[in-house]
Amino acid sequence: MRAGAPGTTSAAELARLLRVSAATVRRDLAVLEDQQLLRRLHGGARALDDGREVPVRYRGGEQRDAKLAIAREAATRVPLGAHALGLTGGSTTDAVARCLADRSQLTVITNALNVALDLALRPQVKVVMTGGVVRSQSSELVGPWAEQTLQAVNLGTAVVGVDGISAAGGLTTHDEVEAAVNAAMIRRARRTVVVADGTKLGRVRLARICAAQDVDELVTDVSAPPAEVEALRRIGLAVTVVEP
């Protein structure tokens, strides 16, 4: 397949848009292919469209304005004063953590390395990390040790990121071990808020975390398909739609 087919672009076009040499483009495309972020073709590259998981360190720029608006709204669901908050991994939950970084008397329990690092230098926030094995794609600690830590805590609120959410499929993610840890966090929380930009609605990934009815609220943005929003509301899930 040559560049020019749907979903593809040419190296020459990338060089023109980025104002770099063709050699630089070819080198960078090789690096991105090694990281399984695209597939190189003769004369260009093709975006991967097979639903595979993009590593969390590359997700921050995707739907950035929507994720920030979602995070700001979700942060208002965390009460002032002493409170225990659970945060899963993900770029949107990381944005929630940054929105809450100046809160006092807040204890954050997380299995996400990026969330913990963002809050580690905030002395007013107590950060508790689970044990577990690092899952490189999501930078999350997963497995029995992570679940055991969560079984020993009581959470007032959990803010959970997902790779897919639908009325029929529930909350889903790419990895079954990660799904088990997220489910354990939800079970330990009095209230659970799901944060997901509009591209996640209607998607069903491999591993089911829980039914949509098992959480309290979804915060999404205006790009969410209206039919999917309505379907979730019909099963009793509160859905808040924010404007970026």
Please give the average per-residue pLDDT across 86-103, as a whole number.
96
Q: How many residues does the chain have?
A: 244
pLDDT at 49 over 80: no
Closest CA to 73 of 105, 102, 95: 95
Please give the average per-residue pLDDT across 42-67, as a whole number.
63
Domain ranges (residues) in the chain: 8-50, 58-242
Please give the average per-residue pLDDT across 210-224, as a whole number.
98
Q: What is the pLDDT of residue 6?
A: 55
Q: What is the pLDDT of residue 228?
A: 98
Q: How many whole angstroms separate alpha carbon 180 and alpha carbon 210?
A: 9
Q: What is the pLDDT of residue 5?
A: 58
Q: What is the pLDDT of residue 114?
A: 94
pLDDT at 22 over 90: no
Beta strands 217-221 and 238-242, pairing class? parallel
Please give the average per-residue pLDDT across 160-179, as a whole number.
97
Give me the DSSP letters along 65-128. Answer: HHHHHHHHHHHTTSPSSSEEEEE-SSHHHHHHHHHTTT-SSEEEEESBHHHHHHHTT-TTEEEE
How many other C-beta atoms can be found within 10 angstroms of the C-beta atom of residue 235? Answer: 12
Question: Do residues 91 and 159 touch, judged by C-beta distance below 8 A?
Answer: no
pLDDT band at 116 (very low <50, low <70, confident <90, very high): very high
Please give the average per-residue pLDDT across 66-71, as a whole number.
97
Query: 134-157: per-residue pLDDT in tens?
Result: 998 889 999 999 999 999 999 999
Please list the residues that pair with 47 across neighbouring strands. 38
Q: What percent of the chain has pLDDT over 90?
A: 72
217 contact partners, CB below 8 Å, separation of at least 6: 77, 191, 192, 193, 194, 237, 238, 239, 240
Report helix, strand or coil for 27. helix
Kindly report the CA angle at 113 between 112 and 117, in degrees rounded to 5? Answer: 120
Fold classification of 58-242 is Rossmann fold (3.40.50)
Tokens of 149: 């830590």
Q: What is the pLDDT of residue 34?
A: 67
Closest CA to 193 of 215, 213, 221, 172: 215
